[in-house]
Amino acid sequence: MMELVLAFVAGAMLVAGGVFTFLAALGVVRLPDVYTRMHAASKAGTVGSGLMLFAAGIHSMDVAIFARALAGFVFFVLTAPIAAHLVAKAAHGAGYRLTRASVIDDMRDAQERNAKKR
């Protein structure tokens, strides 16, 4: 009975992870600029990957495999925001503009303030 419950939990987590991963891919394709695409890929992609890793760990019913899945999720959570920040900073430094729907460019404003101080 417990195996059946764990199988349903793992299946639900796989489906939810697949939905989040699909939404991340859809965001990368549909969103207008590099900054919003990066945001969709980092946030929804991390949640989707984490859910799928947890589902694999639960389905294996092995503590060692679940520990590795948990370690992978922690790695995703720690590295995805840093990578997204670096991609955004590099894109801004290379001159990629925000979409017209964006009204505030905080990074440009901060750079202008720093230039005035020098």
Q: What pLDDT score does 111 carry?
A: 76
Residue 28 has pLDDT above 80, yes or no: yes
| CA dist 69 → 41, 54, 92 (Å) | 20, 6, 34
Domain ranges (residues) in the chain: 2-117
pTM of the model: 0.80
Instruction: Give 117 or 10, the one with higher predicted confidence.
Output: 10
Which residue in this structure is represented by tokens 């020098």?
118
Q: What pLDDT score does 7 carry?
A: 94
Q: What does the pLDDT look like over 37-94, one tens digit per residue?
A: 988 889 898 999 999 999 999 999 999 999 999 999 999 989 998 999 898 889 888 8
- Alpha carbons within 13 angstroms on the beta-carbon side of residue 96 total 14
Answer whether 20's CB lies under 8 Å from 51's CB.
yes
Residue 109 has pLDDT above 80, yes or no: no
DSSP at 73 = H
Which residue in this structure is represented by tokens 């101080």?
117
Answer whether 84's CB lies under 8 Å from 34's CB.
no
Residue 19 has pLDDT above 90, yes or no: yes
Answer whether 118's CB lies under 8 Å from 55's CB.
no
Dig out the tokens for 25 from the structure.
């891919």
Q: What pLDDT score does 105 carry?
A: 77
